[in-house]
Structure 1
């Protein structure tokens, strides 16, 4: 009875012992609020998590991805989408308040949240000021599962438009591997040299995999 009582009261346990003690299913259940006839909220949360395959993939979903899912109407969809947007904004605020080179973990968390579970390749640019605080983040390119075209000229144009002094770029590998390819290394060299012409420093290039992030700067490749 004690075990069931603890399971059925994740809200109280969260307040008493902290959110880290709750499982992914219990956290989702808190946001959903209620279940369906014949399916309690924990079963609904578990089925939702199983449908997307991971918590990160579920939080990266679009409104269309939730359509037709039993028990997930507009209200619950709105709540789940709001949660990830709050996380994105909180990480962006942190990035704007402190130099990103002093908070590599925050950068990795930010880019993984933005593009880590996309089913297609995305090339992301983080434009930084002279103190390496975030000015803006933009997706400069989108591709397919295996290919993506990146245009250094457009990235340079946006760096000038935002008055950036430095840049961090990132892209994801939908395959899940964070190992950079030969073309990734070549693109990094081209970007570094091209940005140097306008006195903008390329601080890092991050390759985002399913469970890891590869940093060109940490490996001494910049």
Structure 2
């Protein structure tokens, strides 16, 4: 870890066996703090700022390590101590982390209640700064056939038309669908527009005889007044 040591007075002040790389080799990655793990990726700081300070500053500005998954190239390069190449490396790592979380089992999941739907969809909504609307096409046993993104809008504004929703279901020969969208604010409480579009979708589903099992809004437990982190129109009695 010579490159890290040469650019970081903070690291040089630590006993050799207390430096992040040595602790990583001796005890494994779980013993390192978020800042230390990020410092291992950055490798070096900049003039006047050691690598741990740069790493901890990134996390502080993002609000958390997970918050960095929402950052763009411009967000990273704005931060003192992160040049263009390091920013690209960090973007790559964050995308790898997202894809690992999103990786699916060989057998598609059965989605038959709000909790299972929310757990399946939460990784797809993680870190998004805009609202997206997905259609989950299901077979007769409520096993997922396909997840399709049908719209992507600015924060607070997702528009969807029944033809976009049910076109996908018909194409996949689905027996039922679940509609899902995210609230970037984290609060899953429905807006007036969310309620209106759900009622329109309910009527369209009845017309074409494809079951609309639920419409789920994904938020975060921390921002949800009831702590669930999601809202089910089925549970609310709208469907």
TM-score, scaled relative to structure 1: 0.74
Which of residues 31, 34, 53 in structure 1 aligns to 2:44?
34
Aligned equivalents of 1:34 and 1:129: distance in 2? Answer: 52
**1:175–1:209: 8 Å Cα contact kept in structure 2?**
yes
- For 2:23, the equivalent position in structure 1 comes to 12
Matches within 5 A, 1:33-112: 33-94=43-104, 97-101=107-111, 108=118, 111-112=121-122
Number of residue pairs aligned between Structure 1 and Structure 2? 218
Deviations 1:171-208 (A, max 9, x none): 22233322223432342343244245545443433222
Q: Which of 171-180 and 135-144 deviates more?
A: 135-144
Quote the residue 2:182 is aligned against. Answer: 172
Q: How many angstroms does 1:44 deviate by?
A: 0.9
Equivalent residue for 1:121, pick from 131, 150, 161: 131
Pair 1:168–1:33, CA change in 2 (3 A): farther
Report the CA distance shift for 1:41/1:184 in structure 2 as closer, same or farther (over 3 A): same
Q: 2:73 and 2:116 mapped to 1: Cα distance?
A: 27
Distance in 2 between residues matched to 1:23 and 1:92, nearest whole Å: 24
1:214 aligns with 2:225: no
Unpaired runs of 5+ in structure 1? none
Distance 1:104 1:72, change over 3 A: farther
The alignment partner of 1:185 has SS state of: helix
Residue pair 2:69, 2:127 contacting (<8 A) in 1 also? no
CA distance in 1, matches of 2:43, 2:173: 45
- Measure, in 2, the Cα distance between the counterparts of 1:154 and 1:127: 13
Q: Contact (CA 8 Å) 2:70, 2:128: kept in 1 or not?
A: yes
Change (3 A) 1:47 1:154: same
Distance 1:206 1:115 in 2: 12
1:13-71 per-residue CA deviation (whole Å, 9 max, x = no partner) reads 4873553x443323322322332233222211111122223333320223233233323
What is the TM-score normalised by the length of structure 2? Answer: 0.69
Partner of 2:11: none
SS in 1 for 2:81: coil
